[in-house]
Amino acid sequence: MARVDIVALLIVAVVLPFLTAFLSFLVPRFLASIVCAASAALSFAAIVGASAGFVMNDRQDFSQDLVSIHDVVILGVTVDRISVLIGCATSLVGLLVCLYSVGYMALGNREHPEIGKPRYYFFMQVFVAAMAGLVFSSTISGQLFFYEITGVCSWALIAYYDTPKALSAGTKALIVEHIGSLGLYFAAALFFVTAGSFSLSALGSMGPAAKTAIILGILFAAWGKSAQFPLHIWLPAAMAAPTPVSAYLHAGSMVNIGVFMYARALVSAGDVPHLVGAIGAVAATFTLVYAFFMYLPQLDLKLLLVYSTITQLASIFLALSLSTFGSKLAFNGGVAHIFNHAFAKSLFFLVAGCISFTTGTRMLPRLQGLLTKMPLVAVGFGTAALAIAGVPPMNLFFSHFAMLAGGFQATRDNLPLLALVIISVLEAIGTFGWFLKKFGDAIPGPPSPTVAAATAVPVSMAVALVALVALTLGSAAAAAAWLG
């Protein structure tokens, strides 16, 4: 397949959901969900087609300029093993979440009985488009453009229910993410002043001082998207959003984009100053410990998953940061964990949505005996819990093992960093024990009164669960084969 065809498919993957989003306001309300799912399916198909073309061309990395002003490239696409892997993950999760929304946004929802409004499906499709644009962007200006669009979508979808709590949460997310975006504005400005360009490929030819400042600016923006301390405060409040939003924006896609941007910067930079790795590693370890202790007392399943998400992302930041000390394994493990985490944590959030849909609650003390009453939901709960706990053969075990092994590899010549890796190991052990406990509390035994009164899960929601269970079991092999 010619490169021009690959680029054309990626343009379709971005532009099509932007255009079909407006159909949400033109078609009858009950059809808006179908349009959203179909749009996400076509966008995913376009990315799969582009990925197939990349493989047929022997996986040769390339970039293509799209929009230039006075010979300065503003927008372009980069096709390489990282963008293809993460692009497939985010678009597939987007498709499954849109399909799930067909059943979830309905009057039968015992927590939020409502047929989805057109603006819900509008912003979901815009977000699908913006994620594809950000992942494949070859310029820092393109990243900034799509970064801001995802922030607007996050605000609108978190505030969707229009309650005071939801509106406050949406505003908090918008403000905090804009604070994070200041790092990206700074990086883009310094990038242009230093290189006269916005193309990320120019980062590798910069001096150590400029390179350090630019990557740290990108890292700060990544902290905002990926909810790292102290920019994490928006994510717990964001659980006021519909659960499909929590699964896509706040587990499977948007929060992962922060670590992806950091990984992209590290790849583009080549030799990264050790100061960047040290700052990133220390900050990640602090966030890891903080979020671990925060999720222990949580009784609301979604809030538990929020702090678990923050710890998982902190682990990725730690691995990517340690990779700057000479460990390719740590970097590949971190990228694979982005891919695997998108499926496992989306599954867990959608399980939480099924539980609240059928029972009207997400409170863990009221959820016992899921296996007897809701076997599919119980299998999804168990699969996701075991994955987060790092139990083989679930996907997160393999990428987490690679991150830890790479971390130890990176610290052989940098012993002061060894303490950070040991802390990460201890956190992994604690997570293992805690999620196995939650597994034992919720899955076996006779149903609690709340679970016994549960209604049926709609077909579209069940299909999404089955797909994510399969992906949680099998994605590690795909990531390992792809990344080598």
Q: Read off the pLDDT of each residue in 136-150 and give the average, rounded to a whole number.
A: 94
Residue 238: what pLDDT? 86
When divided into structural domains, the chain yields a total of 1
Q: Is residue 296 over pLDDT 90?
A: no
Q: Read off the pLDDT of each residue in 326-336 and give the average, rounded to a whole number.
A: 94
Q: Which domain holds residue 477?
A: 277-484
Could you tell me which residues come within 8 angstroms of residue 278 by beta carbon, excluding any fewer than 6 positions away?
A: 321, 417
Q: Is residue 105 over pLDDT 80?
A: yes
Q: pLDDT, tens digit, for every residue of 10-57? A: 999 999 999 999 999 998 888 899 999 999 999 999 999 999 999 999
Residue 370: what pLDDT? 86
Q: Read off the pLDDT of each residue in 417-438 and give the average, rounded to a whole number.
A: 88
> Would 419 be classed as within a structural domain?
yes
> Would 385 be classed as within a structural domain?
yes
Q: Please give, one letter per residue, the 3-state secondary structure of the chain.
A: CCHHHHHHHHHHHHHHHHHHHHHHHCCCHHHHHHHHHHHHHHHHHHHHHHHHHHHHCCCCCEEEEEEEECCEEEEEEEECHHHHHHHHHHHHHHHHHHHHHHHHCCCCCCCCCCCCCHHHHHHHHHHHHHHHHHHCECEHHHHHHHHHHHHHHHHHHHCCCCCHHHHHHHHHHHHHHHHHHHHHHHHHHHHHHHHCCCEHHHHHHCCHHHHHHHHHHHHHHHHHHCCCCCCCCHHHHHHHCCHHHHHHHHHHCHHHHHHHHHHHHHHHHCCCCHHHHHHHHHHHHHHHHHHHHHHCCCCEHHHHHHHHHHHHHHHHHHHHHHHCCCCHHHHHHHHHHHHHHHHHHHHHHHHHHHHHHHHCCCEHHHCCCHHHHCHHHHHHHHHHHHHHCCCCCCHHHHHHHHHHHHHHHHCCCCHHHHHHHHHHHHHHHHHHHHHHHHHHHHCCCCCCHHHHCCCCCCHHHHHHHHHHHHHHHHHHHHHHHHHC
Confidence class of residue 116 from pLDDT cuts 50, 70 and 90? confident
Give the Cα separation of 116 and 30 in Å (integer). Answer: 8
Mean per-residue pLDDT of the chain: 91
Q: Is residue 465 over pLDDT 90?
A: yes
Q: Read off the pLDDT of each residue in 138-166 and give the average, rounded to a whole number.
A: 93
Q: Is residue 1 over pLDDT 90?
A: no
> Would 54 be classed as within a structural domain?
no
Q: pLDDT, tens digit, for every residue of 255-289? A: 888 999 999 999 999 899 999 999 999 999 999 99
Q: Is residue 66 over pLDDT 70?
A: yes
Residue 305: what pLDDT? 85
Q: pLDDT, tens digit, for every residue of 179-221? A: 999 999 999 999 999 998 899 999 989 999 999 999 999 999 9
Give the Cα separation of 269 and 122 in Å (integer). Answer: 36
Among 170-174, 246-250, 373-377, 380-384, name the one with the lowest average pLDDT. 246-250
Q: Is residue 424 over pLDDT 80?
A: yes
Q: How far apart are the first and last CA of the chain?
A: 23
Q: Read off the pLDDT of each residue in 145-160 and give the average, rounded to a whole number.
A: 92
> Would 340 be classed as within a structural domain?
yes
Residue 416: what pLDDT? 85
Residue 217: what pLDDT? 96
Q: Read off the pLDDT of each residue in 315-337 and give the average, rounded to a whole number.
A: 95
> Would 62 be classed as within a structural domain?
no
**Percent of the chain residues topping a pLDDT of 90:** 66
Task: Pick the closest to residue 237 from 342, 164, 318, 186 (CA basis).
Answer: 164
Confidence class of residue 367 from pLDDT cuts 50, 70 and 90? confident
Confidence class of residue 252 from pLDDT cuts 50, 70 and 90? low
Q: Is residue 380 over pLDDT 70?
A: yes
Question: Left if phi > 0, otherwise alpha if psi is -120 to 50, otherwise beta: which for 196?
Answer: left
Angle between the N-to-C axes of helices 208-225 and 140-158, in degrees from 0 to 180, rounded to the nearest 10: 20
> Would 315 be classed as within a structural domain?
yes
Give the Cα separation of 317 and 334 in Å (integer). Answer: 8
Dig out the tokens for 388 from the structure: 């987060």
Q: Read off the pLDDT of each residue in 71-97 and give the average, rounded to a whole number.
A: 94
In the beta sheet, which residues pair with residue 131? Answer: none
> Would 176 be classed as within a structural domain?
no
> Would 331 be classed as within a structural domain?
yes
